[in-house]
Amino acid sequence: MEISGASAIVTGGASGLGAATCRLLADYGVKVVVADLQEGPGQDVANEIGGTFVRTDVVEAEDVIAAIEGARAQGPLRILVNCAGIAYAQRTIGRDGSFATAHDLGAFTKVISVNLIGTFNCIRLAASEMSRSEPLADGERGVIVNTASVAAFEGQIGQAAYSASKGGIVGMTLPIARDLSVVGIRVNTIVPGLLDTPIYGTGEAGEQFKQRLSHDLLFPLRLGRPDEYASLVLEIVRNSYMNAAVVRVDGGVRLQPK
């Protein structure tokens, strides 16, 4: 797909995978809307790439529509990359077996809301906008790239909420691709492994956690870089024959229970 001069929305674009994706798309002539709740970092990324920052809560329709309007003002919306997400860890039951120490239901609901429902909310609205645009070659109007996680397949102890949310993204990839095929919109999902992003925390505790995770890697023996995720996004966007795919980028990792 020809992308120069088109506009894109990248949710979670203020940091990590999203920021790397914003930078790479901008390098290829895309006008990028950085859609994030983090106003300072989000505006910094937008200023760096000549894009636009729109404060966006992905579960709020009005916020997502504002991001779409920001994209429309710069060029036809052809690209949506869903990177926004949160993590939470807690075992399903507590050590004492009491109701009070069972997994926090509010936290479970929040993770599903942001990661899964938020992704779908952005898809349904952005795809509606794309469907009204002029088609390119082969009738293509746009492409959507979602972000799941290897936890969708190998969730570790305490990852029930996170794994459920990411598994849902994997599960809805094909039916949504089928839904949107009639208007020439492709849908694919990237399944990152252990990529070095703020989701693992910062400081000594964060570094120790990442070191423990890296034991399960095959090669290379390091956490992945956000730019390695972004390069896959670019390939999916530009390669018009990639559709309804779920693609791992994970250094061959297969996570153990803990």
Query: Which whole number is the average pLDDT over 252-256?
Result: 93
- The answer to whether 162 is a known catalytic residue is yes
Q: How many Å apart are CA 139 and CA 141, to the nearest integer? A: 6
Spans of all domains in the chain: 7-248
In tens, the pLDDT along 177-213 reads 999 999 999 999 999 999 998 777 778 877 777 777 7
Minimum mean pLDDT among 43-47, 139-143, 216-220: which range?
A: 216-220
Q: What is residue 258's predicted lDDT score, i.e. its pLDDT?
A: 87
State the average pLDDT over residues 16-35.
98
Which parts of the chain are beta strand (E)?
Answer: 7-11, 31-36, 52-55, 77-82, 142-147, 185-192, 246-249
Distance CA 27, CA 163 (A): 33
Q: What confidence tens digit (pLDDT) does each residue in 74-109 have? A: 999 999 999 999 999 999 999 999 999 999 999 999
Q: Does domain 7-248 have CATH number 1.20.950.20?
A: no
User: How far is it, in rounded angstroms, from Cα 60 to Cα 13?
Assistant: 17
From 162, 200, 229, 241, active-site residue: 162
Nearest to 88, CA basis, from 114, 68, 56, 65: 114
pTM above 0.85, yes or no: yes
3-state secondary structure of 29: coil
